[in-house]
Chains A and B, each alone.
Chain A
Amino acid sequence: MDERKLQILQDSLPPLLEAGLRYTLPLALLSFALGLLLAVATALIRISSWTVPRQIARFYVWVIRGTPLLVQLFIIFYGLPAAGVVLDPFIAALIGFTLSVGAYSSEIVRAAILSIHKGQWEAGYSIGMNRSQVLRRIVLPQAVRVSVPPLSNSFISLIKDTSLAAGITYVEMFRTAQQITAVTYEPLLLYSEAAAVYLLFCSVLSVLQHVLERRFERYSAI
């Protein structure tokens, strides 16, 4: 590799890392946190006996899962202004990713709740608990453990999906790489470098997932 390329590689690392840490990660973290709340709420509604809210939750999951994320982002950012709703790129991205995480993860949470043995509910009821006490004290803590691996998966996916926000003018890591490419004419170099930073972020997360799983192991025989 010639010296010019090495120099470009070196010079572009700080702005890429900065964009990753200041824009990509906060967007991913915030939309994941909000998305998880939405996911738990959606999952609880879907296992409840309220017919109408259940139908609404099903409809929500159906629409979000059945349409491309990039198209959803375009509707929110480029489409909504036509209806009088103009959103900042960050807010538009946040809404889009939150809705997406909420829909996909609600299925993970729902499956995790349903995987807890019926005997756990009955044991809770038998000591006088009501449904919400059983959920809060007995079922959800166990469901969390079951859902750590699939939810980590979702989070890692989300980190990478935030690159879609480049399409709605949110200057995160990928868009930063595009901007540097526009001046240096080194797409192979810059996009590979951006890919390497994504890989680094996701590797750190995999380690965190492992730590989290270890913490739960103390009460599991398996």
Chain B
Amino acid sequence: MIEVRDLHKAFGPLEVLKGISLSLAQGKVLVIIGPSGSGKTTLLRCLNLLETPDRGSLEIAGQRLEFKEGSGLAPKAVRALRLKTGMVFQSFNLFPHMTVLQNIMEGPVTVQRRSRAEAASQARELLGKVGLADKADAYPHQLSGGQQQRVAIARAMATAPEVLLFDEPTSALDPELVGDVLKVIRQLAFEGMTMVVVTHEMAFAADVADHLVLMDGGIILEQGPPDRVLGHAAHPRAVQFLSRLRGEEHQ
């Protein structure tokens, strides 16, 4: 489903991704962890081309792209790839001038040219799925952070993407609201949605991931099944990162 080969990305002189390769089968959940500045968010943003990689290749659901330095991408190919993916942002990024229902309908109606009636009924269905059936006509600012993030998940799913990308979906939430959002993501995993999640929630990562990637300094230090990465990390920096996390959790 996802095939990343030797991906490189630099911002000016700062090399953020130094050759990332990974793959993920359909219906599996990939969780990416690592200290801040490790490149994990940039990697995620490369998957739907919010950042354009400098070198390497990327394939998602049959859409294959090769990156070479200095050469641009065809807008058509970029949009085709973006329609294969849906993205959930750390700061929700709902459209504040639209109601919850309009937020969810926007992709299907404006981009996919589906009928309003069809898009609306699908949007209501998605809202029910994330537990917010009664909020269809609310504006984003009338919702709590956790509710906004669940609307954002529904919006990301509305264009029927093959892969959902989550960029630290609970980092901006009050602790008591984190659970509701994680519950929705768990449910999606259970239903066989292919997902890539960048997160700091270790217990959640261990629980929901089929494949865990630990990044630092723009490279993958460890990857594999979560119990192996968390329990038997070999790389010294990985061991250090994990023990620091455990220390924090015990506080």
Most A CB contacts (10 A, CB to CB) among B50, B91, B95, B159 go to: B95
Whole-angstrom distance between the alpha carbons of A129 and B158 in the complex?
Answer: 13
Most B CB contacts (10 A, CB to CB) among A119, A141, A145, A219 go to: A219
Cβ–Cβ contact B97 & A141, under 8 A: yes
Size of interface on B: residues with Cβ below 8 Å to A? 29
Given A123-B89, A126-B86, A128-B83: A138 in contact with B75 (beta carbons within 8 A): no
A218 to B, closest residue via Cβ: B139
Q: Quote the shortest CB–CB distance from B162 to chain A (angstroms).
A: 13
Whole-angstrom distance between the alpha carbons of A126 and B139 in the complex?
Answer: 20
Q: Quote the shortest CB–CB distance from A103 to chain B (angstroms).
A: 28
A116-133: which have CB < 8 Å to B?
117, 119-120, 122-123, 125-130, 133
- Which of B6-14, B104-112, B119-127, B209-217 lies on the face that meets chain A? B104-112
Interface residue tally on A, bucketed by range: 20 to 34
For A123, what are the chain B residues with a Cβ–Cβ distance below 8 Å?
Answer: 87, 89, 93-95, 155
For residue A5, CB closer than 8 A to chain B, the reply is no
Cβ–Cβ contact B93 & A137, under 8 A: no
B87 to A, closest residue via Cβ: A126
Cβ–Cβ contact B141 & A137, under 8 A: no
Cβ–Cβ contact B93 & A127, under 8 A: no
Q: Quote the shortest CB–CB distance from B211 to chain A (angstroms).
A: 23
Cβ–Cβ contact B93 & A120, under 8 A: yes
For A126, what are the chain B residues with a Cβ–Cβ distance below 8 Å?
Answer: 48, 50, 82, 85-87, 89, 156
9 nearest A-B residue pairs (beta carbon):
A127-B107, A221-B141, A123-B93, A126-B87, A119-B93, A128-B111, A128-B83, A219-B139, A128-B82
21 pairs across A/B with beta carbons < 8 Å? Answer: A117-B93, A119-B93, A120-B95, A122-B87, A123-B87, A123-B93, A123-B155, A126-B86, A126-B89, A127-B106, A127-B156, A127-B159, A128-B79, A128-B82, A128-B107, A129-B107, A133-B111, A142-B96, A218-B139, A219-B140, A220-B141
Binding site for A on B (CB under 8 A): 48, 50, 75, 79, 82-83, 85-87, 89, 91, 93-98, 106-107, 110-112, 139-141, 155-156, 158-159
Binding site for B on A (CB under 8 A): 117, 119-120, 122-123, 125-130, 133, 137-138, 141-142, 145, 218-221
